[in-house]
């Protein structure tokens, strides 16, 4: 197991470096922050002094070397907007994203397992056809469109829910519903397919011949074998939620890492943007490791690979 973890860590170092270098270079294409943080009547000398203080007058490779040197010392720089340490701002925002993603996936997994098992009991039946249509529609709807429509109907027209913020349970409904729909649609198809395959196995027929009910057959026999592929897909979808909640957080004003990234890009706060991206990339790497380990625990066939 330790050998496997060491290999995964080493193999993930290069993608982490590539992501950080890419963000570092692309962020600077947005322009010099001096145009945002200095008054309109600032002189050329004032702009030059500001650029020099931020180290932006150095060649890009020198700036990049200074940044990586700081990262090795756990110094991610300071925010141009607030003067706070960039890492502290990113770490303060990340739990909000993690809470939103985790809550969304728990609800999506529970709902998808119930619907997928229900559909698998009678393949090609009415329940199966309805669930297939609903799941495919759910997996196809863009998040940003659903978020806008949800705000228009439930917040503006009906006035039932707030348009943004995190105060109270009502503020969670629209963001979770928006993010949940696609994972729910994908997982229903995965669970349904895995359950149909599992329910056709000989041991299931044996259990039924002994008088086991459908509920017991599903919960005690078939679901464990169907859980492995569903877990893998659920893990990938969770990673996608952590990585892709930028648009939804921005629309709903959710104070997570995605909104922090967008605000940092708009305000050319390079240090905060780089810290947010690096922390997100590390979190995704850890999630992928946990997914692989969980898959190995559920499926004995892959355990020799993990132990290798």
| 308 pLDDT higher than 50 | no
Name the band, by pLDDT with cuts 50, 70 and 90, for residue 295.
Answer: low
pLDDT at 152: 92
Where on the phi/psi map is residue 299: left (φ > 0), alpha (ψ -120 to 50), or beta?
A: beta
Is 21 contained in some domain?
A: no
Q: What is the mean pLDDT of the chain?
A: 81
Residue-number span of the structural domain to which 192 is assigned: 94-267+286-307
- With beta carbons less than 8 A apart as the criterion, state whether 252 and 143 touch: no
pLDDT at 21: 85
Beta bridge partners, 65, equal none
pLDDT at 143: 83
Mean pLDDT of all residues in 33-61: 84
Contacts 24+ apart (CB under 8 A), 48-55: 54/80
Candidate from 46-50, 112-116, 229-233 with smallest mean pLDDT: 229-233
Is 52 contained in some domain?
A: no
Q: Does residue 255 or residue 307 have the better pLDDT?
A: 255
In DSSP notation, 273-307 reads HHHHHHHHHHHHHHHHHHHHHHHHHH-GGGHHHHH
Is 239 contained in some domain?
A: yes
Domain count, the chain: 1
Is 16 contained in some domain?
A: no
Collapsing DSSP to helix, strand or coil, 162 comes out as coil
* Interior angle at CA 150, CA 147 and CA 154, nearest 5: 150
Burial of 56 (0-12, 13-18, 19+ CB in 10 A): middle
pLDDT at 306: 47
| Cα gap 174→176, rounded to integer Å | 6
Mean pLDDT of all residues in 176-202: 84
Kindly state the percentage of the chain with pLDDT values over 70: 84
What is the reported pTM?
0.77
Q: Which residues have CB under 8 Å from 300's CB, separation 6+? A: none
Beta bridge partners, 78, equal 85
Mean pLDDT of all residues in 282-301: 71
Kindly state the percentage of the chain with pLDDT values over 90: 4
Q: Does residue 101 or residue 167 have the better pLDDT?
A: 101
| 217 pLDDT higher than 80 | no
| 101 pLDDT higher than 60 | yes
Mean pLDDT of all residues in 114-121: 83
Q: CATH number for the domain including 138?
A: 1.10.3720.10
pLDDT at 113: 85
Name the band, by pLDDT with cuts 50, 70 and 90, for residue 216.
Answer: low
Name the band, by pLDDT with cuts 50, 70 and 90, for residue 30.
Answer: confident
Nearest to 250 by CA among 102, 181, 147: 147
Is 27 contained in some domain?
A: no
Is 44 contained in some domain?
A: no
Is 87 contained in some domain?
A: no
Q: Does residue 28 or residue 205 have the better pLDDT?
A: 28
Residue with tokens 């997994």: 109
| 88 pLDDT higher than 50 | yes
Is 24 contained in some domain?
A: no
Mean pLDDT of all residues in 11-25: 80
């Amino acid at each position: 197991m330790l050998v496997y973890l060491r290999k995964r860590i080493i193999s993930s170092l290069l993608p982490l470096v590539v992501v950080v270098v890419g963000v570092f270079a692309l962020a600077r294409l947005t322009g010099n922050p001096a145009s945002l943080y200095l008054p309109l009547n600032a002189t050329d000398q004032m702009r030059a002094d500001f650029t020099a203080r931020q180290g932006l007058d150095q060649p890009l490779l020198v700036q990049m070397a200074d940044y990586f040197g700081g990262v090795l010392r756990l110094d991610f720089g300071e925010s141009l907007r607030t003067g706070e340490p960039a890492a502290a701002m990113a770490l303060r925002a990340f739990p909000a994203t993690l809470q939103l993603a985790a809550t969304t996936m728990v609800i999506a997994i529970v709902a998808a397992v119930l619907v997928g098992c229900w559909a698998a009991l009678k393949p090609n039946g009415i329940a199966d056809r309805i669930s297939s249509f609903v799941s495919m529609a759910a997996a196809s709807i863009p998040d940003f469109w659903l978020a806008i429509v949800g705000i228009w109907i439930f917040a503006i027209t009906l006035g039932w829910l707030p348009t943004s913020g995190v105060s109270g349970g009502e503020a969670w409904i629209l963001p979770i519903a928006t993010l949940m729909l696609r994972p729910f649609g994908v997982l229903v198809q995965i669970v349904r397919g895995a359950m149909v395959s599992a329910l056709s196995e000989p041991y299931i027929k044996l259990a039924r011949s002994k008088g086991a009910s459908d509920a017991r057959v599903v919960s005690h026999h078939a679901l464990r074998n169907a859980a492995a592929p569903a877990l893998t897909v659920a893990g990938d979808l969770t990673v996608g939620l952590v990585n892709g909640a930028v648009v939804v957080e921005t629309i709903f004003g959710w104070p997570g890492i995605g909104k922090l990234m967008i605000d940092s890009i708009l305000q050319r706060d390079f240090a905060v943007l780089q810290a947010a991206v690096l922390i997100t990339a590390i979190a995704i790497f850890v999630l992928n490791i946990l997914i692989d380990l969980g898959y190995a625990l559920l499926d004995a066939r892959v355990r020799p690979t993990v132990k290798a």
